[in-house]
Amino acid sequence: MHNARVVVATNQDIQALQESRKFHKDLYYRLCGHQIHILPLRDRREDLPVLLDHFLEKASETLGKKKPTPPRELLALLATYPFPGNIRELQFLVLDAVSSHKSAKLSMEVFKSYIRQNQSTPGCETKHLAHGENAIVSFSEQLPTLRQTEQLLIVEAMKRASGNQAIASQLLGITRQALNKRLKQGGQ
């Protein structure tokens, strides 16, 4: 007799598949001896430093390169991205960055370019201003002024970017100089 352990992972809703008879209940009960539910990367940003370090090590080993040092602001940039492809997307991104890096310090250009390109891609959890249940902004009876709204957006972008103006300006779709000017005008 041989011992075997089967590990199965899915991003599908197994309960819903069972109810629609697309997944056999008997197979489910054979596989579900112990279940672990792991949140997607977008819901556990605190894991980014450990995962980044692990994937840098792994990519360097795979490519036969010395492990590069990531810039401090890289984690702030990665924390702004929703990672619809979950951990595999981060792994691919790090491998791509390590494959093209040429100095001891990892360049952020691969990351910036990838995030800029994929933030507006359909299916990447982008939301648009809308009415009703899909609204991402709601207002009280009195509308804020454009200046107030601009300041709220700037404060939120700076918070999400951990104070990094280059990343915050990218989130806002403006240049770093334009953000810096607005920060000075707003007394930030």
pLDDT tens by residue, 92-129: 999 999 999 888 889 989 998 898 888 754 443 444 44
Q: What is the pLDDT of residues 137-151, one digit of tens each?
A: 667 777 888 888 888
What one-letter code names the amino acid at 3?
Answer: N
Domain boundary residue among 118, 148, 166? 118
Is residue 114 domain-shared with residue 51, that is, in the same domain?
yes
The residue segments making up the domain with residue 82 are: 41-118
Rounded average pLDDT over 70-99? 92
Q: Identify the CA nearest to 158 among candidates 57, 80, 62, 56.
A: 80
Q: Residue 8: pLDDT above 50?
A: yes
Q: Give the torsion sign (CA, 23, 29, 30, 35).
A: positive
Supply the CATH number for residue 98's domain. Answer: 1.10.8.60
Q: Residue 184: pLDDT above 70?
A: yes
Is residue 162 domain-shared with residue 105, that is, in the same domain?
no
Q: What is the pLDDT of residues 25-63, one digit of tens each?
A: 888 887 777 777 788 998 999 999 999 999 999 999 999
Q: Residue 1: pLDDT above 80?
A: no
Is residue 101 domain-shared with residue 143, that is, in the same domain?
no
CB of 97 within 8 A of CB of 110? yes
The answer to whether the predicted template modeling score (pTM) of the entire model surpasses 0.95 is no
